[in-house]
């Protein structure tokens, strides 16, 4: 069956073939988001294969570390394939406002306010992962 489908798609331009596959995913399988990924020909910037390059060379070779910013960039790219809403951009970390800040800003005590966490920069953070 797969071979017959591929044979049918071979005569088409790539964009047309992706559009057909996308439509099948959306209409026949109700996979709306997967449909948008296919329609856009999206390939992620981070894959398990690319993570192999980030594995530690000494010690526990199944573990590695990667900067957080490319992971957030990957999430932004995937989320922004959906053009129904405005683009998503992860900007900075937040924390709950402390009592002193709430008092200074004259915020009610019955609501938790979020403020930018100036102690943490996205570009400075790394995540350890395990591929074992």
Among 66, 64, 72, residue whose Cα is nearest residue 122:
72
Report which of residues 22 and 59 the model is more confident about. 22
pLDDT of 118 higher than 80: yes
35 in a structural domain: yes
Q: Residue 19 domain-assigned?
A: yes
Query: Would the pLDDT of 59 be above 80?
Result: no
DSSP structure class, residue 126 = E
Question: pLDDT band at residue 53, thresholds of 50, 70 and 90?
Answer: confident
Decide if 31 is inside a domain.
Answer: yes
Q: What is the pLDDT of residue 130?
A: 92
Tell me, yes or no, whether 61 lies in a domain: no
Q: What is the pLDDT of residue 35?
A: 94
Q: Would you say residue 47 lies in a domain?
A: no
User: Residue 41: which of 81, 83, 99, 10 has the closest Cα?
Assistant: 81
Residue 6: give the domain boundaries: 1-42
Residue 27 lies in a domain: yes
What's the structural domain count of the chain?
1
């Amino acid at each position: 069956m797969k071979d017959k489908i591929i044979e049918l798609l071979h005569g088409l331009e790539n964009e047309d073939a992706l559009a057909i596959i996308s439509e099948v995913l959306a209409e026949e399988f109700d996979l709306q988001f997967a449909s948008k990924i296919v329609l856009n020909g999206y390939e992620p910037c981070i894959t398990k294969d690319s993570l192999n390059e980030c594995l530690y060379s000494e010690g526990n070779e199944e573990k590695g570390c990667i900067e957080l910013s490319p992971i957030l960039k990957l999430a932004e790219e995937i989320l922004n394939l959906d053009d129904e809403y405005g683009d998503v951009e992860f900007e900075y970390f937040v924390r709950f406002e402390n009592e002193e800040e709430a008092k200074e800003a004259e915020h009610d005590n019955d609501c938790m306010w979020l403020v930018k966490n100036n102690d943490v920069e996205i570009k400075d953070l790394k995540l350890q992962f395990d591929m074992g």
